[in-house]
Amino acid sequence: MKHLIDTYKIPIAAFLIFVMVGIVMWFIRDIRYFYLFAGIGFAELNTRIFIIHYPKYRQFFRLTIQFLLGSMFIFWLSLFIGVNFQFPEIFFDASAGIVTGALIQMLVARIVLPFFFGNAFCSRACWTGFFFEVTNSKKYISKPPTERSELLAWGYIALLILVPIGINVFYKPYNPAENDDLRKYWIIGENLFIVTIGFVMTFFTGSRSYCRMLCPFITISGLFSKFSLFKITPVAADSCTGCNACTKACPMLIDVKTLVYEKKKVSDKLCIVCERCVSSCNSDVLKLTNKKVNSVVVNPLDLKGK
């Protein structure tokens, strides 16, 4: 029994966390939120179980669930139903005295979940994250990538706060929280802006530029992700060959190899828990776990066929 619990604790934990969030949101809002979060948890449960038994398909399963969940958020919940999940909507809503999906996403995905799985929402459900991952031009960048600037990141957040406040004060009829006819235009415009500026930035400042340097959600969830229960961990650091495949695989440009040498968990605020570093390592050095560095007995199911 202990072996089974240890093997499946991450998928079980993920499922239970989403179910608990769904129950809380059911009582606060309505039962539809329970169906939504329980459904996401069930999808995450099955994906992680598949990964345990078929680790060489880790990225295929992850990207598949990210595509499905991301498509649900953008096409069904956003474009069809009209829920805007982008950061400025929180302040459009606040000025209108209402609460919608933007604030709920912030609280659940960017404040609660980071204490358990870091920024995993970015690599499991974010549709713009999926777009940037499949269009990642990291291999085409010849010059060193631009380092993240906290001043720029927080300045961008300030801009995203000031714009909706300004519109509500001076152009209130254009507030999408109070104008149903304009809401979908805002949803389309904001998402097009993000993917366009993010795609263009990649060629000048490096891989996943928007996510690394501007995304307000990562900036905020990164404050809490360092306390995450489950992290990428060098469970067999002494087996590292120094090939640097883990660092090369990281889309967020984290120096994973140095962390392995120093026998430290990946606690970088930019880590999106995509596990590309885990998949790239032929020596089975890394694993997503809650255990201490080098204290884990690696389950053969996690390594077979990697």
pLDDT on residue 302:
45
Six token digits for residue 76: 């069904």
pLDDT on residue 100:
87
pLDDT on residue 96:
86
pLDDT on residue 193:
96
Q: Domain ranges in the chain? A: 83-229, 231-301
Residue 30 three-state SS: coil
Distance CA 90, CA 134 (A): 28
| pTM across the whole model | 0.88
Contacts of 269 (CB under 8 A, 6+ apart): 119, 218, 222, 223, 225, 226
pLDDT on residue 6:
78
Six token digits for residue 58: 């880790």
Residues of the chain with pLDDT below 70 are 1-3, 137-143, 294-306
- Max Cα separation, the chain? 63
Distance CA 230, CA 12 (A): 13
Pick the CATH number of 231-301 from 3.30.70.20, 3.30.70.120, 2.30.42.10, 3.10.129.10: 3.30.70.20
- What digits encode the pLDDT tens for the residues 136-188? 755 555 567 888 999 999 999 999 999 999 999 898 889 999 888 899 999 99
Contacts of 96 (CB under 8 A, 6+ apart): 168, 175, 177, 178
Contacts of 257 (CB under 8 A, 6+ apart): 240, 242, 244, 246, 247
